[in-house]
Amino acid sequence: MAMEITQALLAAQSPDGQTRTVAEANLKQFQEQNLPQFLLSLSIELSNDQKPPESRRLAGIILKNSLDAKDSARKEHLTQQWVSVDPSIKFQIKESLLRTLGSSVAEARHTSSQVIAKVASIEIPRKEWQDLIGKLLGSVTQAFAPGSLKQATLETLGYVCEEVAPRDLEQDQVNAVLTAVVQGMTSAEPNSDVHLAAIRALYNALDFAQTNFENQIERNFIMKVVCETAVSKESAEIRQAAFECLVAIASIYYDYLEQYMQTLFNLTAEAVRGDEEPVALQAIEFWSTLAEEEMERQDDCVALDELNSPLLHFHFVDKALESLVPMLLETLLKQEEDQDQDDTVWNLSMAGGTCLGLVSKTVGDKVVPLVMPFVERNITKADWRSREAATFAFGSILEGPSVEKLSPLARSGFEFLLSAMKDQSSHVRDTTAWTLGRVFELVHRPVSGDPVINEKNLPGIMTVLLDSIRDVPNVAEKVCGSLYFLAQGYEDAGPASKALTPYYESMITALLSTADRAGISNVRLRASAYETLNEVVRCSYVPDTLNTTAQLLQEITRRVMHTVDLQVVSSDDREKQSDLQALLCGGLQVIIQKLGGSEGKSVILQMADEMMMVFLRVFGCRSATVHEEAMLAIGALAYVTGVDFAKYMPEFYKFLEMGLTNFEEYQVCSISVGVVGDICRALDDKILPYCDGIMTVLLKDLSNAMLNRSVKPPIFSSFGDIALAIGENFDKYLPYAAPMMQSASEMCMHLDTSDDDMVEYINQLRRGIFEAYSGMLQGFKNSKPEIMLPYAGSLVQFIEAVFKDHSSDDLVTKAAVAALGDLADALGGRIKELLVGSPFYDELLSECLLSDDDVLKETAGWAEALIQHILQS
């Protein structure tokens, strides 16, 4: 077998498709017939230095994939599978893996350390493989162990720390790990690979070091070693890793930093000014992290001021400000020639500007006088680097300081910024356009008494922006961003948004032609142009812009139609087509929503047929899935057309079902579920012919373990929508839907509420379940309310459980009280005994009646009146 598996592993990587397929099938067969033996063979393959590196590599990969997966359901399955393997075989596999750490082949060592960590992630939380740490430490501390073994072992320790949670290791194990790691970092150890592995392992182990950091002596020692490593002469890689540790320490152990701050400031300043870029970037990152940490603490101070033990807040950034800001300003001058071409570029100038932005958010007004002299000194200099850095500095500090402080600067700087849009350097123009966008986003307050943008300067601004949108693509993209924020400033501004009306048409024209110009060669610019277009429409003042928007609607509809006819040969073409359709359908959705709720409703109604046809053709472009954006737009359209949407249903239905069954792309599924609700409200009982299909799919979705859990609460809500729409006809679904609701209610009571994400999920689920009950109670109320009687008890129980658990939010409480009222309303005297036996409702309603939330108060009052009526009758 051993020989066979080597062959199979090699053949599975053959360039010949036929050979590959056969080999893959063989491996699969082996795996299915005898998994334990299969895994053991792989581990032996990996450990054997006589085997070719290719087969060992694949063996490692398959092992890893047999232990871990991204998908949580799959991972759970793999975990169970490993757990059930015979212990003696597991032991052999683990021994092989540990043996591989001493291999002379670096790649095999590396792969093995990853696999060991995966096994550890399953076993250590179960209190198995308790001697792993001991065994690893044995290799590191052994005086005569070869450097390669030490390096691999330290790497393994790091990975293990990454995989398991701090609560899963005993303190003495943590101590031992830290001791080993710190030893590996000291100069007593001659091998620099070991040093690097050690400092990286420390990075992963930091989470475990709480107790050690609380102890002054141990903390001093760890900090001393890390700081020494940060100036190690060995390699930039080692210094970079040491700074990464300092970044992590800044965020995990902020409370203990005070005594080291002077040292840390000096270290980071030296690195920023003199070290190689990767090291300098981490040194800047240290301050960015510190700034973020302090912002969070400021927020928490505000939120938690009633607690006795507020978080410590040392104002490190504030205290270092006078030296820190000049250091960051210097980095701004270290631009690269081509940095504007790449959105993800990360260099000294970017990191410095980003850090300066965070510093401004942390200290507010104080940063302004430290930065403005730099801006003034450099903004007119002859070399582009000075001018760009000056503008970048100004743009970076616009968030944090007060609008009062910034307005005068922005106002007096406008003229200059606008003229800089003609600067000969495209870097300067790029940054200037970005800065203008920041001013619009952060300093512009159109409804304030003295807005930065007013009728006097707006014409000049618009002239420059509409001109500069024709600049080179990177500048044009920033100009789109400026227009986006300029428009956004007028969102919800009522008649104040009329200010943009005179430019509405020219903005639309400019954005459309920018999108055309960008075409497929610059998808980022095209996306920015369309997205800005959406914002401009969304924030426009409809009475004035109705006609132009109606024309735009036709134009975009035409453009979507055009995408359908694009020639699609490759999957790449398909993706491009789909991306463009996403942008355009997004635009249609925005227009439908904007006009549908206002004077423009008739425009949407007139165009409904045409749009629907286009959406159906967009769906037709793909076979297995539906277009998420088109789906969203259809939901908006259904709401506007109301019952007339019925005529589209025969054709639309199959795509709706396709969306509802797409659990791989759960966003698509989720949006489709939302559209079911939109359609229920639009069609009312006209949705009946489609309900068998919809309910079948929704019920299947609920019991599908692979479906992302976030889709499940809206499915329950949609049960309510359907029941409300079709009334008594829901009776045939009730025997299927109600038990699902009951078991989900049960589940809510037993989920772990220590995790914030989980609490949020539970609350969404609760709300969905209550909305389902409400919709059903209301739907059956007039024809056969008694059909809900068997579920009354579990609903009341659920309401009680939610009431007694204090993790529920206001929305849940509201939904619970509404469901209680609906229950009383629908079933009346039939639930009298139930109510008498559940006195908690009185407390619940009294609590709600005292709430500040008017809606909750009114709902509670309504429910109370209904219950009183029952009890008195």
Partner 1 sequence: MAPPPDHRRPIKRVAISDQQRRRELALRVQADRRSDAQNRARQLASSVLSLGPVTEVEPELEQEQEMSDASDQSGGRTELDPVRAASLRGPEVRRWFATQLMLPEWMVDVPPLLDSDWYVFPRPSGKRCFVVSSNGTTVSRLRNGSILHRFPSSLPNGARTKDVSGPSSSYSILDCIFHEADETYYVIDMVCWRGYSLYDCTAEFRFFWLNSKLSETGASDPPSQYHRYRFNVVQIYECNLIGLQAAYLGQVSYVKDGLLFYNKHAHYQAGNTPLALVWKDNVCSQYVLDTDNQGQIPSQQQVVLELQNDGSLTTSDDPPVALGCLSRDMIAQYGLRVGNLVRVEVRDDSVKLVDGKLDLGDLQLVGKPNRSRAFADTYSKVLFQYAARRAPLRIEDLVASIQSNPSVENSQALDIEMEG
Per CB under 8 A, contacts with partner 1 among 332-351 are 336, 342-347, 350-351
Per CB under 8 A, contacts with partner 1 among 270-289 are 278, 281, 285, 288
- In angstroms, the CA 695 to CA 259 distance is 64
Alpha carbon 770 to its chain's center:
27
Per CB under 8 A, contacts with partner 1 among 628-667 are 629, 632, 635-636, 639, 642-643, 667
- In angstroms, the CA 457 to CA 418 distance is 10
What's the token pair of residue 500? 């943009």
What's the token pair of residue 410? 């922005």
Of 418 and 725, nearer to partner 1 (C-beta) is 725
Per CB under 8 A, contacts with partner 1 among 767-796 are 771, 774-775, 778-779, 781-783
Q: Is 533 helix (H, G, I), strand (E, B) or coil?
A: helix
Stretch that binds partner 1, among 123-131, 315-323, 352-360, 412-420 (CB under 8 A): 352-360
Q: Is 72 helix (H, G, I), strand (E, B) or coil?
A: helix
- In angstroms, the CA 265 to CA 277 distance is 18
According to the binding rule CB under 8 A, does residue 586 interact with partner 1?
yes
Stretch that binds partner 1, among 3-11, 560-568, 595-603, 650-658 (CB under 8 A): 595-603
Contacting partner 1 (CB under 8 A), which of 154, 202, 671, 823? 671
CB of residue 493 to partner 1, shortest distance in Å: 17
Each residue 452-481 as x (binds partner 1 by CB under 8 A) or -, in order, gives -------------------------xx-xx
According to the binding rule CB under 8 A, does residue 721 interact with partner 1?
yes
Q: How many CA atoms lie within 13 A of 685 on its CB side?
A: 6
According to the binding rule CB under 8 A, does residue 401 interact with partner 1?
no
Of 137 and 687, nearer to partner 1 (C-beta) is 687
What's the token pair of residue 613? 């046809």
CB atoms within 10 A of CB 322: 10
CB of residue 668 to partner 1, shortest distance in Å: 11
Per CB under 8 A, contacts with partner 1 among 831-860 are 855, 858-859
What proportions of the chain, in percent to the nearest 5, are helix, strand and coil? 80, 0, 20
According to the binding rule CB under 8 A, does residue 394 interact with partner 1?
no
Contacting partner 1 (CB under 8 A), which of 194, 439, 725, 844? 725
Contacts of 33 (CB under 8 A, 6+ apart): none
Of 38 and 655, nearer to partner 1 (C-beta) is 655
Q: Which helix (H) or strand (E) holds 862?
A: helix 854-872
Of 41 and 432, nearer to partner 1 (C-beta) is 432
What's the token pair of residue 259? 């005594």
Contacts of 787 (CB under 8 A, 6+ apart): 731, 734, 780
In this structure, which amino acid lies at residue 739? P
Of 149 and 844, nearer to partner 1 (C-beta) is 844
Of 68 and 535, nearer to partner 1 (C-beta) is 535
According to the binding rule CB under 8 A, does residue 535 interact with partner 1?
yes
Contacting partner 1 (CB under 8 A), which of 139, 148, 717, 745? 717
Positive or negative torsion for Cα 566, 570, 573, 577: positive
- What's the Cα-to-Cα distance from 331 to each of 353, 359, 369, rounded to whole Å? 8, 14, 18
In which region does residue 828 sit, left (phi positive, over 0), alpha (psi from -120 to 50) or beta (all else)?
A: left
In this structure, which amino acid lies at residue 242? A
According to the binding rule CB under 8 A, does residue 861 interact with partner 1?
yes
Residue pair 592/549 in contact (Cβ under 8 Å)? The answer is no
According to the binding rule CB under 8 A, does residue 60 interact with partner 1?
no
Of 178 and 518, nearer to partner 1 (C-beta) is 518
Total interface residues for partner 1 by CB under 8 A = 84
Q: How many CA atoms lie within 13 A of 76 on its CB side?
A: 5
Each residue 412-451 as x (binds partner 1 by CB under 8 A) or -, in order, gives -------------------x--x--x--------------
Each residue 726-765 as x (binds partner 1 by CB under 8 A) or -, in order, gives xx--------------------------------------
**CA neighbor of 773 nearest in space, from 712, 816, 833, 743:** 816
Each residue 673-692 as x (binds partner 1 by CB under 8 A) or -, in order, gives -x--xx--x--xx-------
CB of residue 703 to partner 1, shortest distance in Å: 23
CB of residue 558 to partner 1, shortest distance in Å: 21
Of 147 and 861, nearer to partner 1 (C-beta) is 861
